[in-house]
Amino acid sequence: MAPTPAPAPTGPSRRAFLAASAGLALLAAGCTAGSSGGPAVSTEEAERLAGQVTVQEAVVAAYAAATTADPALALSDLSAQAAEQLDRLRAAAPSATSSPAASPAAPPAAPVGADVRTWLRGQLATAAGSHAQACTQQSGARAALLGSIAAGLRGHEAALA
Amino acid sequence: MADDGVLDEGTETAALREVVAAEHAVVWGYGTVGAALPEDARDPAVAADVAHRDVRDRLVALLESRGAEPVPREAGYTLPFPVLSAVDAATLAVVLEEGVSAAWVRLLDQSVEPAVRELAAAELGAAEVRTVGWRTTAGRIPVTDALPGLP
């Protein structure tokens, strides 16, 4: 199958190819995590989402512990992304930050031995699995956000391999 | 979401069809990626192509089981930029995977069945893992994305 002889786009932009070629314009204006206008959130869904905030707090703490244990790992970019994920989760689950019952994640134990990277990958895998599982029990933008964060952490795992 | 903001099987099916459309484009695009890579560097493109064909076929079967018509592949697609080198190929692969990631996130946003969300979350994760590899090959920094598929 040959490409259609259409005018070349001005350059590669994120999703431009698919949006233009596969009629996926919806993607460009698609879901936005935390957007309003969706179905009402059940109490159960809200509590589950608050639980994932705690999971993500543990990821941020794990990055801090790993950086302390092995500064040579140069984790600043990944750590910043984990913090960004946490911010998005908190924004989507306001009860997680306003409720006095919400306690911060316990700092993970400092990695023992030299293989800090492996330890951190394990922490990321656990959190990614938790977010992915929680995603199946959410709906709308909350499901999209949790699935995206889970995927992001899978990417972190891959980057640290 | 549906016009009335309610998620139902209709919104899910529509999003599934969008993913199929994206997968058709990705499968086509990986032909270009593979052709632009040196022979000894094609394994990741071949593996990705197989993975995308597999999930596309699974989605088509799912849609057919619902009595919904799967989206056919387009007669042709337009490359977003000339692919003249291995770096161009990796950059195209990044565009392809990021595009299909957006379609999976859209499905998560529109779905109602936990099993469909489970599939979407798994495939979104797999796409991001592949994308990390391609960003690395393309020399992109950072090689990871905090929120794959989200705007």
Contact B102 A30 (CB under 8 A): yes
Between CA A94 and CA A74 the distance in angstroms is 32
State the CB neighbour count (10 A cutoff) for residue A151: 34
State the CB neighbour count (10 A cutoff) for residue A69: 17
Q: Do the domain assignments include residue A10?
A: no
How many domains are contained in chain A? 1
Compute φ and ψ for A19, nearest 5 degrees.
Answer: -60, -40
- The verdict on pTM exceeding 0.90 is no
Residue A120: give its domain's CATH number. Answer: 1.20.1260
Show the domain range for B36.
9-138
Query: Is B142 an 8 Å CB contact of chain A?
Result: yes
Q: Do the domain assignments include residue A101?
A: yes
Written as six digits, the tokens of B114 are: 């936990």
Residue-wise pLDDT for B63-86, tens only, equals: 999 999 999 999 999 999 999 999
- The ipTM, to two decimals, is 0.95
Task: Tell me the pLDDT band of A12, cut-offs 50, 70 and 90.
Answer: very low
**Per-residue pLDDT, A34:** 36
Q: Which residues of B touch A63 (CB under 8 A)?
A: none
When computed from its CA atoms, the radius of gyration of chain A, rounded to whole angstroms, is 19
Written as six digits, the tokens of B120 are: 């979407």
Task: Tell me the pLDDT band of A110, cut-offs 50, 70 and 90.
Answer: low
Query: Is B87 an 8 Å CB contact of chain A?
Result: no
Residue B119: give its domain's CATH number. Answer: 1.20.1260.10
Residue-wise pLDDT for A17-41, tens only, equals: 444 444 443 333 333 333 444 456 6
Between CA B122 and CA A19 the distance in angstroms is 22
Tell me the H-state helices in chain B: 9-36, 43-65, 86-110, 114-138
The 10 Å CB-count burial string (b at 16+, else e) for A10-19 is: eebebbbbbb
Task: Tell me the pLDDT band of B40, cut-offs 50, 70 and 90.
Answer: very high
How many domains are contained in chain B? 1
Report whether pLDDT(A88) > 90: yes
Query: Is A160 an 8 Å CB contact of chain B?
Result: no
